[in-house]
Amino acid sequence: MSSETPVLLPISTWSLELNRLLTASFIELEKSSIDKVTRVLWEKELLAKIAVDHLKFMPPIKTWLMRSLSMDVKALSDLEILQFFVGNQFWQKYNPEEAMKYLKQLQHIVDKMQFGTNQPQHHQLNFLEDITQHDFVAEENSVEFIEDSEKEEDDDSDYEEGFDSLSISSGPQSPPRKRQKQPKRTINRIQRTTSVNSSVSSVTFEAFNNMPILSNNQSTWNQTLEANPSFWELKCLSWKTLLDAAYELRKDTTLSQERNEEEYQNVVGVLREIRKVQRGIYSRAEWQEAVKSSQLAKSVKLWSSPYMLLHCKASFAVSLIRRNRITESLSLILYSWIPKEEVLTWMPLDKVPTFSLNGPRKLEGKELLQFFKEYPDVIPRQSYPSSVYFLLNLDNFIIVYKQWLAFALHEADQLKERDWYKYDLNALKQENEMQDLYSGLIRLLEQQIRSGHLTSYYESFDLSKTHSL
């Protein structure tokens, strides 16, 4: 729930010239029936007009948005603010309730972007509930902003209903489950197809690659992608290039704030785009071949490695794991692209990690405690905050062992000069071995607490003596 309810404010308060521009654009829009196609064309024309005097119009637009949300919007780019402004003005004019929803969704997203900063939070956030959503509108509420292609009605989109055309004087609506289908009011199909095809087929790859995918243009983005198969491998290569560049910097703690923000936005941009590729595209053999040829999967595999929790030290990389669960989200999307008949042939992996290079020594509580004293930074407190609860109970300990602890122990073993110093981590595949290790560690910590050497379990992890793996 928001502690500051957004308000619908007129832009005329801050710019009479911009208000006149909006009024004139609405007059032109209403000269013909308002549907998805005419609305998209209206938005493009208005954005182009505002862009001509960008330096003049952006300050009042930013002020309008800050006052509407009662929030700082520095986390948003000028392009995002401008795109949001145009979309919200449309709904303020024709459907104020949707405009208010639009503002509330943006307020929630800005809260997410400010998570972890000193800025006040307006919402109770749950990142496990939605780890990859960065669009301006919640998917279940964004149907009005999507230009659904009629041939994609059976795809796996998150949207349940299409937006056929806007009725300015629409009456009260019945609940969704009771609502009966009304005859569709659509423009001539031939005119619509000709309009769409002529616009998307003439786009260059450079223009398409620089096109931001937002809630109110993702259908156009998909239509352009589908109409230009020659773009497919190039787009996958573009994603791979951005992911690889960011991956190389994942350990760099000397990056400036601007560079961290740039790398973060690059990776989130890739995540946003691959999420929006429709099934009608990614299910085609040509798309799958483009993904293979570009070796995009190799880059995703690097980002999905369980060692990432240990290696991500740069601010942007930590944020990608904490806020976007990047170690899981990218691979889950690529997994959804794989044909089901192929997945059925896979063999399940062991639930507990198995290592080919393994030592002879049995890992016991004493050695594990010493390991944490030497390498306290292996606990991914910043990128995976819940990891601090790994000693709470045996179940937590087992989950953490599978997620990052086993890989941290294995990597530390590889730094040892002699093999006989290395531990037999594969022995921990046995449940009783895992329980013995946890019990031994807890028993040792409790002994130290009783003897007065420690006041809590976590005091044994002295951060002043940190070693890096």
CA angle 52, 58, 63 (to 5 degrees): 160
Q: What is the pLDDT of residue 371?
A: 82
Q: What is the pLDDT of residue 135?
A: 41
CA distance 438 to 365: 7
Q: How many residues does the chain have?
A: 469
Q: What is the pLDDT of residue 1?
A: 40
Give yes or no for a contact between 261 and 316, defined as CB atoms under 8 angstroms apart: yes
Q: How far apart are the first and last CA of the chain?
A: 42
Q: Which residues contact 279 (CB under 8 A, 6 or more apart)?
A: 155, 156
pTM, 2 dp: 0.55
CA distance 437 to 427: 11
- Identify the segments of the chain with pLDDT beneath 50: 1-3, 116-118, 120-179, 184-196, 420, 463-466
CA distance 70 to 209: 34
Q: What is the pLDDT of residue 124?
A: 45
Q: What share of the chain is helix, strand, coil (3-state, %, to 5)?
A: 60, 0, 40
| DSSP code string of 388-456 | GGTTSSHHHHHHHIIIIIHHHHHHHHHT-SSGGGSB-GGGGGSHHHHHHHHHHHHHHHHHHHHTTS-SS
Q: What is the pLDDT of residue 415?
A: 57
Q: What is the pLDDT of residue 187?
A: 43
CA distance 291 to 335: 12
171-193 residue pLDDT tens: 334 444 444 555 544 444 444 44
State both tokens at 345: 């042939």
State both tokens at 399: 């989950």
16-48 residue pLDDT tens: 999 999 999 999 888 888 888 888 888 888 888
Longest CA–CA separation in the chain, Å: 84
Q: What is the pLDDT of residue 421?
A: 55
Round the average pLDDT of the chain to a whole number and report it.
76
CA distance 193 to 461: 64
Q: What is the pLDDT of residue 457?
A: 52
